[in-house]
Amino acid sequence: MAVGTFASVVDHGSVGVALPSVANHFATDIPSVQWLVIGYAMTIIALLLPMGRLADLIGQKKVYLIGSLVFVAGAISSGASSDLGVLIVSRVVQGAGAAMTQGTGMAIVIGAFPPNERGKAIGMIMTMVGTGAVAGPAMGGLLVDALGWRAVFFSVVPLVLASVILSLLILTEARRPNANPGQGRERFDWLGAALSSAALLALLLVITNAHRSGWDSPPIIGAAVAFVALSAGFGWWQRRCASPMLPLWLFRRRNFSQGVSANFLMFLGSSAVLFMTPFYLQSVLGYRPSIAGLAVVPGAICMALLGPLSGWLSDRFGWRRFTVGGLALSATGILILSRLSDDSSLFLVIPALMLQSSGMGTFYSPNSSSILGAVEQERHGVISAFLNLIRNGGNVVSVAVATAIVTITMGSMGYEPSLDAVRTGAGSGVGAAFTAGLKYAYMTMACSVLLAMFISLLPLRRAQQPEFAAALPETR
């Protein structure tokens, strides 16, 4: 699982660095190549819950292996693409594979540890996320400079194939932590899967296109209405389905609902930083992709080190102090980044990124452990997929909101309201206009993280069931 997680994170980080080079190769603009990231993320978000549920029914190993092979096929097709449309479709295929692996990988790891070591297990996953975050942008920058953008997609193929071989040798279906032997055979909720996927796609289409098309444009209004209708239909069906995709009554548990809310707000406030800052370093300060990629390495190292340490400590001392402390660190780093100018030094950017990443590493393991501790063990598979859904959804919404804020600010200052104008250097003051928008975006992101900190400080109810209480030291 560590090898697979590492490969997935490396792919995400390296592709982000390669976007300007892809845009130059296909002679297109940044909003168009952004669909390499948006389409990939939208596919993952739409399929995570169904794939997590499918793994519960047919076996986690089987779904993980099939997903890994689909991911490899998408990566090879992406690297060989001669047309931007084919490249975007190939990334969608990769997203389908990633949904199958992400929806099962965490559940497999958590199932190998007892409840009192859940934080440590999640922390070990964070170590691989942090290590991949170090390697991804650095590898992406070096590969783009040396071999071109195609090498970025091909480079993850050996890693994923190694994960497949290790999985075939090591993983077994003998232990199914999500099995429920006291009940009859459950069926896959096809209608719930369709409704949830369609609702999420409608929402993401609104978020990613509203700032360009206008909130009052017919397509955006239609997508918004579709999201509301599909969400209502999903909720209605989940309350009546004998084997629901996602049991909505879990949100009545305050421990669960508050943990989930803080998790989403954290990623909403943090993910755009990792997208916008390398763009700022390349397009405004003029650094090469390799330098922009290396600039995020110290922060990713902090995340890799603090993730398991925070998880291990939260198993012993409760999760609240670590979630709140992590959120405070992230908010501080983002507020420092909100002070950037069009001639800021790397000595300001790198420490701020280290604070922000340290906060994420400190927060994620205890927060995820608290959410899983509020849920019966047989539901850990679908909830693990749900946590990955929140993370990916937060990533997409964060980038969309930050992009909208930046481009609206640029337009109000008389410049072309697009990130492509910054990349091409259209106008002597466009860099300053972009940076001004970046300040507002980062201030908004910091407010989101501070709201997550407030939610984490709210009093919680003790777990209603004895088996939860033993796994929930946060009630201290």
pLDDT on residue 442 = 92
The whole-number average pLDDT for the span 270-286 is: 81
| Contacts with 39 (C-beta within 8 Å, 6 or more apart), sequence order | 88, 91, 92, 95
What pLDDT sits at residue 207? 75
Q: Which residue has 């444009």 as its token pair?
A: 217
Share of the chain above pLDDT 90, in %: 13
Q: How many C-beta neighbours within 10 Å does residue 464 have?
A: 11
User: Do residues 451 and 458 lie in contact, with contact meaning Cβ atoms separated by under 8 Å?
Assistant: no
pLDDT score of 459 more than 70: yes
Res 31: pLDDT: 67
Q: How would residue 23 be classed by pLDDT, with cut points 50, 70 and 90?
A: confident
For the record, the structure tokens of 424 come out as: 């091409």
Mean pLDDT calculated for residue range 245-255: 79
Do residues 140 and 17 make contact, with C-beta atoms less than 8 angstroms apart?
yes
Three-state secondary-structure class, residue 465: coil
Percent of the chain having pLDDT more than 70?
Answer: 89
pTM of the complete model: 0.77
Is 341 buried (19+), middle (13-18) or exposed (0-12) by CB count in 10 A? middle
Q: Which of 7-16, 36-45, 93-102, 199-208 has the highest mean pLDDT?
A: 93-102
Q: Which residue has the higher pLDDT, 234 or 428?
A: 234
pLDDT digits (tens, 9 = 90+) for 340-390: 887 788 888 899 999 998 898 899 888 888 888 777 766 777 788 888 888
**DSSP E strand stretches across 10-158:** none
Query: What is the distance, to the nearest Å, from the Cα of residue 257 to the centroid of all Cα atoms in its chain?
Result: 19
- What mean pLDDT do residues 257-281 have? 86
SS3 label, residue 207? helix
* Cα distance between the two ends of the chain: 33
Q: What is the mean pLDDT of residues 399-413?
A: 83
Q: Which of 41-55, 316-330, 338-352, 408-422 has the lowest mean pLDDT?
A: 408-422
Distances (CA, A) of 375 to 91, 265, 321, 343, 353: 33, 21, 21, 49, 33
Concatenating the DSSP letter of every residue in 244-309 gives: -SS-GGGGGSHHHHHHHHHHHHHHHHHHHHHHHHHHHHHHTS---HHHHHHHTHHHHHHHHHHHHH
Question: Which tens digit of pLDDT belongs to each residue from 156-184?
Answer: 899 899 989 998 888 876 444 444 444 44
Q: Which domains does the chain have, with CATH numbers?
A: 2-172+247-475 (1.20.1250.20)
pLDDT for 72: 93
Mean pLDDT of 3-9: 84
Q: Residue 220, CB half-sphere, CA atoms under 13 Å: how many? A: 12
Three-state secondary structure call for residue 366:
helix
Q: What is the pLDDT of residues 308-321, one digit of tens each?
A: 888 888 888 888 88
What is the rounded CA–CA span in Å between residue 64 and residue 71?
10
**Mean pLDDT over the full length of the chain:** 80
Going from the C-alpha of 310 to that of each of 322, 379, 386, the distances in angstroms are 7, 24, 22
Max mean pLDDT range (6-10, 266-270, 388-392): 266-270
